[in-house]
Structure 1
Amino acid sequence: MQTPLISIIVPCYKQAHFLNEALQSVINQTYSSWECIIVNDGSPDDTEEVAVRWLEKDERFVYVHKKNGGLSSARNAGIKKSRGVYILPLDADDLLAATYLEKQVAVLERNTSLGIVTSYSNFFYKEKNNIIYQLKPIGDNVISLLFVNQLVATSLYRKECWTAVSGYDETMKKGFEDWDFWISITKLGWTYSITREFLFYYRKAQQSMLANTIEHHSDEVKRYIFTKHKELYIQNFDNCMEVLFFEMEVQRKGHNKFKNSLEYKIGKLILKPYRWVSQFFSSPKKEL
Structure 2
Amino acid sequence: MNPTVTIIMATYNRAHYIAETLHSIQKQTFQNFECFIVDDGGTDNTLEVISPVLRTDPRFKFSKRPVSYKKGLPGCRNYGLDLAKGDFIIFFDDDDVVHPDNLKTSLAVVQNEKVAFCHYQKQAFEKVVPNFEFSEPKIKQALNSFNLYDIITHKIGLASCTVLWNKKCFETIRFKEELLYAEEWECYTRIISEGFEGVSIKNVLYYNRKHPNSNTGEFFSNNPIRKKSNSEAILLVVVNLKEKQLLTDSILRYFIQISLDYKEYKLFSAIEEKAQLSGFGKIKWQIFYAFLPVRLYLYSFKKKLFS
Q: CA RMSD in A?
A: 3.1
Q: How far apart in 2 are the matches of 1:32 and 1:123? A: 25
Structure 2: any 5+ residue segments left out of the alignment?
Answer: 133-139, 261-291, 302-307
**What amino acid does structure 1 have at the position aligned with 2:190?**
S
Q: How far apart in 2 are the matches of 1:200 and 1:120? A: 7
**1:5–1:86 Cα contact (<8 Å) kept:** yes
**What amino acid does structure 2 have at the position aligned with 1:163?**
E
Please state if 1:36 is matched with 2:35.
yes
Normalised to the residue count of structure 1, the TM-score between the two structures is: 0.76
Of 201, 204, 211, the residue aligned with 2:217 is: 211
**1:180–1:225 Cα contact (<8 Å) kept:** yes
Normalised to the residue count of structure 2, the TM-score between the two structures is: 0.72
Of 244, 248, 252, the residue aligned with 1:237 is: 248
Q: How far apart in 2 are the matches of 1:251 and 1:87? A: 46
User: 1:124 corresponds to which residue?
Assistant: 125
**2:122–2:207 Cα contact (<8 Å) kept:** yes
What SS class does the counterpart of residue 164 from structure 1 fall into?
A: coil
User: 1:169 corresponds to which residue?
Assistant: 176
**What amino acid does structure 2 have at the position aligned with 1:147?**
T
Please state if 1:224 is matched with 2:235.
yes
* Structure 2 CA distance for partners of 1:209 and 1:251, relative to 1, 3 Å: farther
**1:145–1:183 Cα contact (<8 Å) kept:** yes
* Structure 2 CA distance for partners of 1:35 and 1:257, relative to 1, 3 Å: same
**1:176–1:221 Cα contact (<8 Å) kept:** no
Matches within 5 A, 1:130-169: 140-142=143-145, 143=148, 144-148=150-154, 150-154=157-161, 155-165=163-173, 167-169=174-176
**What amino acid does structure 2 have at the position aligned with 1:176?**
A
What SS class does the counterpart of residue 128 from structure 2 fall into?
A: coil
* Structure 2 CA distance for partners of 1:22 and 1:254, relative to 1, 3 Å: farther
Aligned residues: 250
Pairwise CA distance, 1:54: 1.1
* Structure 2 CA distance for partners of 1:244 and 1:42, relative to 1, 3 Å: closer
Determine what percentage of the aligned residue pairs are the same residue. Answer: 24
What SS class does the counterpart of residue 171 from structure 2 fall into?
A: helix
Q: How far apart in 2 are the matches of 1:239 and 1:257? A: 21
Q: How far apart in 1 are the matches of 2:25 and 2:252? A: 43
Matches within 5 A, 1:1-288: 5-66=4-65, 69-112=71-114, 114-129=115-130, 140-142=143-145, 143=148, 144-148=150-154, 150-154=157-161, 155-165=163-173, 167-173=174-180, 175-214=181-220, 215=222, 216=224, 217=227, 220-231=231-242, 235-244=246-255, 249=292, 253=296
What SS class does the counterpart of residue 34 from structure 2 fall into?
A: strand
**What amino acid does structure 2 have at the position aligned with 1:177?**
E
Q: How far apart in 1 are the matches of 2:71 and 2:27? A: 30
User: 1:265 corresponds to which residue?
Assistant: none
Pairwise CA distance, 1:221: 3.4
Deviation string 1:182-229 (CA, Å, 9 cap, x unpaired) is 111111100221121111101111232123234340652343333442
What SS class does the counterpart of residue 7 from structure 1 fall into?
A: strand
Pairwise CA distance, 1:230: 4.1
Structure 1: any 5+ residue segments left out of the alignment?
Answer: 132-136, 259-288
User: 1:274 corresponds to which residue?
Assistant: none
Q: How far apart in 1 are the matches of 2:167 and 2:208? A: 23
